């Protein structure tokens, strides 16, 4: 299983051109910076490079940028004899456990001073902080103080400046960096590779900027071995991300289809319900009408029957009377004879 620590949790700036006082949180998987030309995107890569390698091997990753030296990153304030600034990284070494590493810059020199912030007093074995340090935490009365004064006055943690080699030795001993950058050749190689990534040539292993570092001593071989391992990890992450994206897209398509089917089913049920109601209403009305007509017909039939019966009775009476008259007539005739 891939180890996600240590990782850069955030980059903070104080008094830097185009960034001023800012805190940039980094996503564990990927962080993109976008903006117009001159908005300070490439400067972020330069600041990270400066924090990791120091000012001795620092060169701007932006090719042809003659003004991007170390002190050129500072905001020039009119009426101030010297500008000051800080750049630092919160390194998350385990969940919610941090070290801070950074650089202090003055406008009078291109040599940055490296510093570390931790929670203890042992500088060989660093003690983690329970929360990240933000730019406002290093401002005294909302002003940018010197590194010396800041180290003496900071109260919530321990802060100390170091020479470059001591700084890199502590980072290596505490597993913040996986390479021992106290060796000049290793540092130079590491700085070149960082700049190669910063220029966007990153994962092309055939790049001429990297080929010249693939030959030499064991340190260089160790660097390229780690580089290839990271290339493979990032490539795997990319393909996995692509596969996940395709699966998400497929799920979204299925969700749209399912939504359409449910909508149509709902419309069908509504239409069928209306049909049943109308059918019931029709047959119920038809039944009532038929029943009414039937009752009326039965009444008429009964009336006719009664009327017929009455007529039959009347006819019968007439017949009887006629018969009586006939008998009486015969009797009279017989008497006369």
* 34 inside domain: yes
* 89 inside domain: yes
* 188 inside domain: yes
Which range, 147-161, 220-234, 314-328, has the best average confidence (pLDDT)? 147-161
Which range, 121-130, 219-228, 257-266, 271-280, has the best average confidence (pLDDT)? 121-130
The verdict on pTM exceeding 0.75 is no
* 138 inside domain: yes
pLDDT of residue 201: 46
Q: Kindly state the tokens that stand for 119.
A: 């929670």
* 226 inside domain: no
As for how many domains the chain has, the answer is 1
Q: Find the domain containing 46 and state its range.
A: 7-200
Of residues 130 and 231, more confidence is placed in 130
Q: CATH number of the domain that 37 lies in?
A: 3.40.1140.10
* 251 inside domain: no
The order of strands in the sheet holding 20-25 is 20-25, 7-16, 84-94, 97-106, 113-118, 158-162
Taking only the tens place, the pLDDT of each residue in 43-91 is: 999 999 999 999 999 988 776 545 578 998 999 876 565 789 999 999 9
Distance CA 2, CA 7 (A): 12
Q: Closest Cα to residue 170, out of 104, 94, 101?
A: 101
Mean pLDDT of the chain: 85
pLDDT of residue 313: 84
* 224 inside domain: no
The percentage of the chain sitting over the pLDDT mark of 70, rounded to a whole number, equals: 89
Find the mean pLDDT for residues 301-322. Answer: 84
* 128 inside domain: yes
């Amino acid at each position: 299983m891939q180890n996600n620590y240590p990782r850069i949790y955030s980059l903070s700036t104080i008094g830097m051109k185009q960034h001023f006082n800012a805190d940039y949180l980094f996503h564990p998987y990927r962080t993109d910076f976008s903006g117009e030309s001159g908005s300070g995107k490439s400067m972020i890569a330069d600041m990270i490079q400066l924090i990791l390698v120091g000012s001795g091997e620092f060169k701007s990753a932006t090719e042809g940028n003659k003004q991007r030296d170390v002190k050129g990153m500072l905001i020039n304030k009119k009426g101030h004899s010297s500008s000051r600034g800080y750049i630092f990284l919160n390194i998350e070494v385990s969940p919610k456990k941090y070290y801070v590493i950074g650089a202090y810059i003055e406008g009078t020199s291109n040599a940055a001073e490296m510093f570390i912030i931790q929670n203890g007093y042992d500088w060989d074995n660093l003690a983690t902080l329970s929360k990240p340090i933000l730019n406002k935490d290093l401002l005294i009365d909302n002003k940018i103080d010197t590194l010396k004064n800041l180290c003496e006055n900071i109260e919530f943690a321990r802060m100390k400046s170091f020479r470059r080699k001591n700084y890199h030795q502590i980072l290596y001993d505490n597993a913040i960096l996986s390479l021992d950058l106290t060796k000049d050749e290793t540092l130079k190689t590491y700085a070149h590779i960082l700049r190669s990534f910063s220029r966007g040539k990153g994962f092309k292993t055939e790049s001429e900027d990297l080929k010249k570092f693939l030959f030499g001593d064991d340190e260089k071989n160790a660097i390229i071995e780690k580089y290839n391992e990271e290339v493979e990890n990032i490539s795997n992450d990319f393909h996995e991300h692509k596969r996940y994206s395709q699966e998400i897209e497929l799920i979204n398509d299925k969700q749209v289809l399912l939504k359409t089917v449910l909508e149509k089913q709902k419309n069908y049920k509504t239409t069928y319900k209306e049909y049943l109601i109308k059918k019931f209403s029709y047959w119920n009305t038809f039944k009532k009408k038929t029943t009414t007509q039937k009752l009326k017909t039965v009444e008429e039939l009964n009336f006719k029957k009664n009327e017929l019966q009455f007529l039959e009775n009347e006819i019968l009476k007439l017949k009887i009377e006629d018969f009586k008259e006939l008998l009486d007539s015969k009797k009279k005739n017989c008497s006369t004879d």
